[in-house]
Amino acid sequence: MNCDVKDINLAGKGRLRVEWARQDMPVLNSIRERFVREKPLDGLRIAACLHVTTETAVLAATLKAGGALVHVCASNPLSTQDDVAAYLAKEEGIPTFAIKGEDADTYYRHIHQALDVKPQVTMDDGADLVFTVHTKRQELVPEILGGTEETTTGVIRLKAMARDGVLRYPMIAVNDALTKYLFDNRYGTGQSTLDGIMRATNRLMSGSIFVVAGYGWCGRGLAMRARGMGARVIITEVDPLKALEALMDGYEVLPMAQAAPQGDIFCTLTGDINVIREEHVVAMKDGAILSNSGHFNVEIDLEGLARALTSRRPIRESVEEYTLQNGKRIYLLAEGRLVNLAAAEGHPSAVMDMSFANQSLAAEFISKNHQKFDKQVYTVPEEIDAEIARLKLAAMGVEIDTLTPEQVKYLASYDLGT
Ligand SMILES: NC(=O)c1ccc[n+]([C@@H]2O[C@H](COP(=O)([O-])OP(=O)(O)OC[C@H]3O[C@@H](n4cnc5c(N)ncnc54)[C@H](O)[C@@H]3O)[C@@H](O)[C@H]2O)c1
């Protein structure tokens, strides 16, 4: 078996968990049924660097059903579900390279092993795979038709590469599909981040002061859900428009320096670096909880935190206690990595259903249309977005109205006024 997983004997447990997830992924299931019939990805080699979760297993099996040869590795050292990795390798026969808690060397070795499939399509969550191709595995570039990117931070990196003229093959920004970020980033991150913080700490949300850094799609989802649990939510932002939205949505808006002494629980979701720094941490209350749900573990300044401490110890699973020189104790969750994936199970399957429907249709789109692309970052075609929304509504048993011929004409005209 071509794989590197923690324990292949966990496959049976993984199978049951994947079966559970699949029940909540009707859109991907319908795509899979078509893929089985039409084999649109026949012989296509795909390297997928994604969080190795139950939903990713359903995606990988869908791609395989379409005829693709898929290799899977983790897009984060802490997000792998070891039973799922074992299931993928043993029962789906998909070469999988991912171990929860792997160190940086193993993480990159696994990326290289996934790339050994000599991909024609790369599938990324954070752009580490693409970046490795561009820096260490350039010999692979001539055969690559295109790639897909799952998350905001990855899209930002790719757009920077395209702007600097160094991107060597076309990319589809799956993150920027409406059926992705409006649901996955907002409702998925909102629910799963709260889930991760609650599983790690078992703290009562009700009445707590919850500071959300960043009021983008992820931040607003988390703020909404934290408020729903009875927390008093403070937003920090750098964008005046987002700050204004947060204010008019009824939240308190403060700079981090003022929020720091007030918060009981902090979560960063900005895609930015050093959002919570040493000067903020030392001003926090004794017992404050720090977490991050943005893509990389750079949003909390871990070096600054280390400078301020006298001692640290693990105190619960996914929780490390830092005792600071000023005597206060600060609790860091999941080493400052994505708390929803490291301390919980990531997004609910029902929301990943749409994100991964976009991934599979984007892979099909690349395989059919790659000649038309430049070395740029493209959005998912509107028809794919609309089709996914239509399929999701149908699966949820929800019907909507259709425009009458009169309405079609009216909406395309300008002659009828007051
Ligand atoms: N946890 C998950 O499962 C998950 C899911 C999707 C996306 N993400 C990641 O979450 C991050 C945010 O994604 P998004 O889609 O919400 O992005 P977004 O661009 O919609 O929002 C980010 C917000 O952060 C704000 N911001 C930037 N720097 C800041 C700072 N120093 N202080 C306060 N606010 C600041 C920006 O103004 C923006 O409003 C990205 O890294 C993305 O990749 C995580």
Count CB neighbours of 182 within 10 A: 15
Looking at ligand 1, which atom is closest to the CA of residue 51? 3
Q: How far is CA 62 from the centre of its chain?
A: 19
How far is residue 282's CA from residue 411's CA, in Å, rounded to a whole number? 58
pLDDT digits (tens, 9 = 90+) for 129-162: 999 999 999 999 999 999 999 999 999 999 999 9
What is the mean predicted confidence (pLDDT) over 103-130?
98
pLDDT reported for residue 418? 86
Per-residue pLDDT at 416? 87
pTM confidence score: 0.95
- C-alpha 139 – ligand 1 centre gap (Å): 33
Nearest C-alpha to atom 42 of ligand 1 is from which residue?
152
Ligand 1 atom 32, closest CA = 237
Specify the residue with its C-alpha closest to ligand 1, atom 21.
216
Compute the distance between CA of residue 74 and CA of residue 50 in angstroms, rounded to an integer. Answer: 5
Closest residue CA from atom 1 of ligand 1:
293
Ligand 1 environment, Cβ below 6 A: 151-153, 181, 185, 189, 213-219, 236-239, 242, 269-272, 275, 293-295, 338, 340
| The pair of three-digit structure tokens given for residue 14, joined into one six-digit string | 């993984």
Q: What is the pLDDT of residues 313-325, one digit of tens each?
A: 999 999 999 999 9
- Ligand 1 centroid–CA 53 distance in Å is 22
> For residue 48, how far is its CA from the centre of ligand 1 (angstroms)?
23
Cα 219 to ligand 1 centroid, rounded to whole Å:
7
Q: How many residues does the chain have?
A: 418
- For residue 244, how far is its CA from the centre of ligand 1 (angstroms)? 16
3-state secondary structure of 162: helix
**Residue 237 CA to ligand 1 centre (angstroms):** 10
Could you tell me the distance, in angstroms and rounded to a whole number, from the CA of residue 300 to the centre of ligand 1? 13
**For the chain, what is the radius of gyration of the CA atoms?**
22
For residue 244, the model assigns a pLDDT of 98
Ligand 1 atom showing the smallest separation from residue 271 Cα: 41
Residue whose CB lies within 8 A of the most ligand 1 atoms, among 78, 125, 152, for a mutation test: 152
Task: Point out which residues pair with 238 in neighbouring strands.
Answer: none
Q: What is the mean pLDDT of residues 21-48?
A: 98
Q: Is the pLDDT of residue 1 over 90?
A: no
What separation in Å is there between the alpha carbon of 45 and the centre of ligand 1?
31
247 C-beta neighbours (distance < 10 Å), count: 14
Question: CB under 8 Å to 281, separation ≥6 — which residues?
Answer: 260, 290, 301, 304, 305, 308, 324, 330
Residue nearest to atom 6 of ligand 1 (CA): 185
pLDDT in tens, 355-386: 999 999 999 999 999 999 999 999 999 999 99
